[in-house]
Amino acid sequence: MNVGFIGTGSMGGMLVEAFIRSGALPPECIAVANRTPAKAERLALRYPGVRAVRSNAEAAAGRDIVFLCVKPLDFKTVIDEIRASVQPEQLIVSITSPVLLAHLEEWLPCRVAKVIPSITNMALSGVTLCIYGSRIEPEQMAMLEGLLSHISQPIRIDEKYTRVVSDLSSCGPAFMAFVLRRFVDAAVEETGIGREDAERLAAGMLLGTGRLLTGEGLSADELIRRVSVPGGITAAALKQLDTELDGVFNRLIRTTHAKFREDLAKVDQSFAVKH
């Protein structure tokens, strides 16, 4: 399998590194291009065998799969650059949520998909969301999900749920890390415990909790019941949390959806302009 990556920033670079570390792809099967060539070249130096190419068209030509890992408003420019190099049997994969499959299928002659990765894929964990265009074949779905299964659990979703599932799986690690940091801050301020100790305890707790909710099959409600004794310390704290967090995550989801609609309108406008 030959795979191209256009864009080697935070998520593009993470995917390349995760695929190599997991053994999903040998470096020799990867070509990378970036608007700033030096970034692609640094990635190639870090993983001998990876080829840094000078143009997006070269990164796309002849690849089985091409990952487009660029900012939403850069998509139309990149598509214009690669369209003549792309063949109908190739699979182009966007990792950017405001770029719709309809945008890709209108402007590209090949099969298209959208994938929403997560920073948890760095740890060869978490999920990857998969959304497929109308022209894709079952064997290409299997090829892509087989690749992603080395670094995550691929899950197929309907495109209309892109934003909310991204909130949970892709933005979620930042949200949970933010809450964890505030928990640690409070522990340090209120008790004087050393920050390093508090961070290590909290991180270990989060790791173990994740394993209980996945590998051990506990639901969130079951876990709460197992830890919280009626009338106990945990129960008292949970009552306080329930009061303080009332509506917080509803407002969070409304905020992410409003920003998504704003970004989508800008992407629509960028695709409406003839390049």
Instruction: Work out the average pLDDT over 92-96.
Output: 96
Q: E strands, the chain, where?
A: 3-6, 30-33, 51-52, 65-68, 91-94, 111-116, 127-132, 153-156
> Does the pLDDT at position 275 exceed 70?
no
pLDDT of the residue at 217: 86
Cα→Cα distances 124→105, 115, 215, Å: 30, 16, 15
Helix 172-191 vs helix 195-214: crossing angle, to nearest 10 = 140
Give residue 272's pLDDT band: very low, low, confident or very high (50, 70, 90): confident
**The pLDDT value given to residue 175:** 97
Q: How confident is the prediction for the chain on average, in pLDDT?
A: 95
The per-residue pLDDT for range 129-145, each reduced to its tens digit, is 999 999 999 999 999 99
In tens, the pLDDT along 180-239 reads 999 999 999 999 999 999 999 999 999 999 999 998 889 999 999 999 999 999 999 999
Share of the chain above pLDDT 70, in %: 99
CB-based burial of residue 50 (10 Å sphere; 0-12 exposed, 13-18 middle, 19+ buried)? buried
Residues in the chain: 275
Residue the block writes with tokens 């629509």 = 268
Measured between alpha carbons, how far is 161 from 129 in angstroms, rounded to an integer? Answer: 10
